[in-house]
Amino acid sequence: MTGLLSSWISLLPRGVRWAGAATLLYLLAFGFSPGAWLQAPITFAFLLICPGVLLIDWLDLSDVVIAVAIVIPSSLATNILVSTILVGTRTYTAGAGLIASAAVTLSLMFLSFALQEARIGYEQLRWQTR
Amino acid sequence: MSLDIVEPDNEVTLPSEESHKRYLVHAGETVYTVILERSDSHAIRRAESGQFVTRHLWFAVVVSFLILFALPVVQPFDLGTLGLASTLPPLFYMGLTALLVGFTVALTRNPSRSVLGAYVVAVTATLHGLSPLVYEYLRFPWAWKHVGIVEYIQRNGGVDRSAESLSAYHNWPGFFGFDALATDVAGFSSPLSFAHWAPVFFNLMFLAALYVIFQRFTADHRLIATGLVFFTIGNWVGQDYFAPQSVAFLFYLVIVAILLRWFLTSGRSELGAERRIAERPVAGAILLVVIAAVAVTHQLTPAMMIAMLIGLTLIGGLHAKWPLIAALAITGLWLFTFARPFVADYLPRIIADLGNLGGRVDDGLIDYNHVDTSQRYVSLATRGLTAAVLGLAGFGFLRQFRGLGAWRQALVLGATPLLLVVASSYGDEIVFRAYLFVLPIAALFAASLWFPPRSEPPGRIVMASLAAVLIGLSFASLVAMHGNDIQQIFVEDEVAAATLMYNTAPPGSGVIQLTNSYPTKFKNYENLDELDVAAFSLAARERFLSDPSRWFDRWLREGEYVEGYVLITRAQRAEVERQGNLPAGSTDRILDDLRAAKSFEVLFDTPDGVLFRLNKEAIG
């Protein structure tokens, strides 16, 4: 089972793995409420990195400065759009914000995974029909 | 192994005694010098390079720590004529000088990116990390207002688009909504816990985006790093604090970076054409998200963004027109749907203000006849620094523009923000905002004076001149950034007086204050109307100074407020004295009069903050 899980995880794109790990860490930190000294940095990492980290796969941002320049602002922008919808509809609460943010991140993860699969499938199809 | 034979008359200096050997060969009467380079010299050069990197990295780290240790001796509330710059210890200035000299020394060799990056980060942290390291409370009264909007969202679960006070923030709530979320889920009660670190975060993020932008114009990483240092030194305008415009400016830079990396038609590119085309759909999706985030975050930045996109599209610099169409559509959609209450109120004023260039520039600059000596010096520093950076950029552009790739696009990026000075209704602040948007390209052109494209490596004298310029500008930048701190920072009793007022004032209350230089509107802000008496006409000021308590009593009663307050703080006093809004000694006369008046009761009385409440039972 563990072997199956790890081989499945190894199939995931790098960004999805990072985002997944950050989400798990965040949920652990939030769930156990260990205090702001740990909760705050993990929260900021979650909000400022998770959605954008998926781009590392899509854009192959191997240069760390370029990755920082694109990943953090795009995560920030994603969360700003999520928050704006909540405050604009006067439905903002911390819980709603967290769920919406996590939902966007998870959607992006699945989208990333689906795109990765589609690209592999397309390459295989092209190779078979050659 | 390589071999060089030098003519008899030529004197020769060996690059390194370890890697090169000199032999004399006698051919008849002629003596030739033969130089042999050892085959392992490449390894030696690499070892030397490794030592060079290590030495510089250690130097940057050690000097940064020395600067950090120098700061606790600063007395932040004993600010001199030049503000915080007068109070900083010599060790701080020595450290900053050492960093800039180290940076220019590194430039004389062929430095690695990590060495230059370490210096750029260290200089940025030194200049922009001063506030959170030295001051206990958040700097700038208007930053406290932003905390107040976040608090409003936390309390009400949303914004009120028809709010009478701070309505722009309610109509562009992106930044505030995100901060409410970050504050709540991080376990803080207020963004005050992290807001004072905003200048460090934003400036480092600006540099990352600028790195991507500058890469499009040059491959010379010495020029890129020097451009980044010019930017960080030239960024004195205070648009990098806890504010929507800071995050919107970051987004603007990211949009430019994405356009230049994936959508530009000319200029140099790190990416191959095939990869650029393959990655363009994802880059385009990010572009859309960031454009939308700008549209919901700030009023002015979308205009800057659209002007820039129009400029790039008109010169044929972009592969596609859809970024411009998307920016226009998203911004228009926001303006005429969510932000409609604000736009309906302000549209007539916006139209009336178009083209009032002279008045706007005059309003943005202080009148030297009315301000005190300290304010005059600070203003001279800001004007001098701005003129120096833009002047160097102008010379750089005239000399080097054809050498930098995609110079027409650079010109568009530098020129379009200036159009907004003419075509905007943003008041006097537009002058500073425009400077900020021009600064990235200005910084690159200024730096290019020392690194002309396709030229020989600069000599030591040239680099010494660069060090002198950077040191001079960085000292001016400290004065420009922190010269007015005496009226923009707060002490414990000012915060306590304001907290007491905001905690106790019921809805429908009013407060009279000299100016809004205090921790303002950060809690229950909608409960209080404000009246700034320093903003009154000269005649009105003279009238109320003759009998302050009677006039304050009258205004508060006429306003039919549920409760009426008067709040006077140290920073307010500093502002009216420095700006010359009230005659010398006025603040003390007002305080004495209010303390003696039966119609006011004292709720809080310390040298740094005094809070009065109108006694409605007493006859005014």
- Residue-wise DSSP of A72-84: HHHHHHHHHHHHH
Question: What angle separates helix B198-215 from helix A64-88, to the nearest 10 degrees?
Answer: 120
Inspect the interface and report whether the beta carbons of A94 and B173 lie closer than 8 Å. no
Give exposure, B221-248, as e/b (b: 16+ Cβ within 10 Å).
Answer: bbbbbbbbbbbbbbbbbbbbbbbbbbbb
Among the listed ranges A107-111, A114-118, B267-271, B513-517, which one has the minimum average pLDDT value?
A: B267-271
Residue A2 has pLDDT above 80, yes or no: no
Per-residue pLDDT tens over the stretch B179-219:
999 999 888 889 999 999 999 999 999 999 999 999 988 88
Residue B439 has pLDDT above 80, yes or no: yes
Return the HEC string of B382-437: HHHHHHHHHHHHHHHHHHHCCCCCCHHHHHHHHHHHHHHHHCCCCHHHHHHHHHHH
Instruction: State the nearest Cα–Cα gap between B212 and chain A, in angstroms.
Output: 6
* CA nearest to B505, candidates B605, B611, B617, B595: B611
CA gap B155, B138 in Å, rounded: 21
Cβ neighbour number for residue B539 with a 10 Å cutoff? 7
Provide the pLDDT for residue B190.
93
Residue B158 amino acid letter: G
Provide the pLDDT for residue B536.
84
Which is it for strands B564-569 and B509-513: parallel, antiparallel or unpaired? Answer: parallel
Contact partners, residue B60, CB within 8 Å, separation at least 6:
B99, B102, B115, B118, B119, B122
B283 → closest Cβ in A59, A82, A87: A59
**What string of DSSP letters covers B279-316?**
HHHHHHHHHHHHHHHHHTT-SHHHHHHHHHHHHHHHTT
Provide the pLDDT for residue B82.
85
Residues, chain A, total?
130
Inspect the interface and report whether the beta carbons of A47 and B283 lie closer than 8 Å. no
CA B124 to chain centre: 11
Provide the pLDDT for residue B113.
87
Which is it for strands B509-513 and B528-532: parallel, antiparallel or unpaired? Answer: parallel
* CA nearest to B345, candidates B516, B196, B200, B163: B163
Q: Which residue of B has its CA nearest to A42?
A: B186
Strand partners, B609: B569, B606
Provide the pLDDT for residue B14.
58
Provide the pLDDT for residue B164.
87
CA gap B581, B576 in Å, rounded: 5
Per-residue pLDDT tens over the stretch B583-604:
888 999 999 999 999 999 999 9
Provide the pLDDT for residue B313.
92
Rounded average pLDDT over B354-374: 58
Inspect the interface and report whether the beta carbons of B286 and A74 lie closer than 8 Å. yes
Inspect the interface and report whether the beta carbons of B251 and A73 lie closer than 8 Å. yes
Q: Are B182 and A49 in contact (CB under 8 A)?
A: no
Strand positions, DSSP E, B40-183: none
Provide the pLDDT for residue B28.
64
Instruction: State the nearest Cα–Cα gap between A74 and chain B, in angstroms.
Output: 6
Provide the pLDDT for residue B273.
74
Provide the pLDDT for residue A91.
93
Provide the pLDDT for residue B425.
56
Query: For A14, which DSSP code?
Result: H
Residue A54 at interface with chain B, using a CB cutoff of 8 Å: no
Q: Which residue of A has its CA nearest to B202?
A: A73
Rounded average pLDDT over B341-369: 64
Residue B496 has pLDDT above 80, yes or no: yes
* CA nearest to B468, candidates B396, B398, B388, B386: B388
Instruction: State the nearest Cα–Cα gap between A110 and chain B, in angstroms.
Output: 15
CA gap B262, A84 in Å, rounded: 28
| Inter-chain contacts counted by CB atoms under 8 A, chains A and B | 143
Mutate to test the interface with B, among A49, A87, A107 (most CBs of B within 10 A): A87
Provide the pLDDT for residue A36.
55
Q: Are B478 and B232 in contact (CB under 8 A)?
A: no
Highest average pLDDT, of A59-73, B71-85, B508-522, comes from B508-522
Contact partners, residue A30, CB within 8 Å, separation at least 6:
A39, A43, A98, B185
Per-residue pLDDT tens over the stretch B332-346:
999 999 999 888 888
Provide the pLDDT for residue B345.
84
Rounded average pLDDT over B542-546: 87
**For all residues of chain B together, what is the average pLDDT?**
86
Inspect the interface and report whether the beta carbons of B290 and A74 lie closer than 8 Å. yes
CA gap B543, B532 in Å, rounded: 15
Q: In terms of pLDDT, which residue wins out, B386 or B82?
A: B386
Among the listed ranges A44-48, B43-47, B201-205, B305-309, which one has the minimum average pLDDT value?
A: B43-47
CA gap B70, B68 in Å, rounded: 5
Q: Are B21 and B54 in contact (CB under 8 A)?
A: no
The token pair that represents B276 in the structure block: 């650029």
Provide the pLDDT for residue B508.
95
A84 → closest Cβ in B173, B188, B247: B173
Residue A15 has pLDDT above 70, yes or no: no
Q: Are B413 and B440 in contact (CB under 8 A)?
A: yes
pLDDT class of B566 with cuts at 50, 70, 90: very high
Per-residue pLDDT tens over the stretch A54-110:
777 677 777 888 888 998 999 999 999 999 999 999 999 988 888 888 888 878 777
Residue A76 at interface with chain B, using a CB cutoff of 8 Å: yes
Query: Helix or strand or coil: residue B489?
Result: coil
Inspect the interface and report whether the beta carbons of B187 and A43 lie closer than 8 Å. yes
Sheet-wide strand order for B20-27 = B2-6, B30-37, B20-27
CA gap A100, A79 in Å, rounded: 9
A88 → closest Cβ in B159, B212, B254: B159
CB-side neighbour CA atoms (13 Å) of B386:
19
Instruction: State the nearest Cα–Cα gap between A23 and chain B, in angstroms.
Output: 13
Mutate to test the interface with B, among A83, A90, A98, A107 (most CBs of B within 10 A): A83
Residue B462 has pLDDT above 80, yes or no: yes
Mutate to test the interface with B, among A43, A48, A61, A76 (most CBs of B within 10 A): A76
Inspect the interface and report whether the beta carbons of A98 and B185 lie closer than 8 Å. yes
Residue B20 has pLDDT above 80, yes or no: no
Mutate to test the interface with A, among B179, B271, B275, B286 (most CBs of A within 10 A): B286
B211 → closest Cβ in A59, A65, A98: A65
CA gap B171, B341 in Å, rounded: 8
The token pair that represents B242 in the structure block: 């806890």
CA gap B555, B572 in Å, rounded: 20
Residue A77 at interface with chain B, using a CB cutoff of 8 Å: yes
How many percent of chain B have pLDDT more than 90?
57
Instruction: State the nearest Cα–Cα gap between B335 and chain A, in angstroms.
Output: 14
Per-residue pLDDT tens over the stretch A34-58:
555 667 777 777 788 877 777 776 7
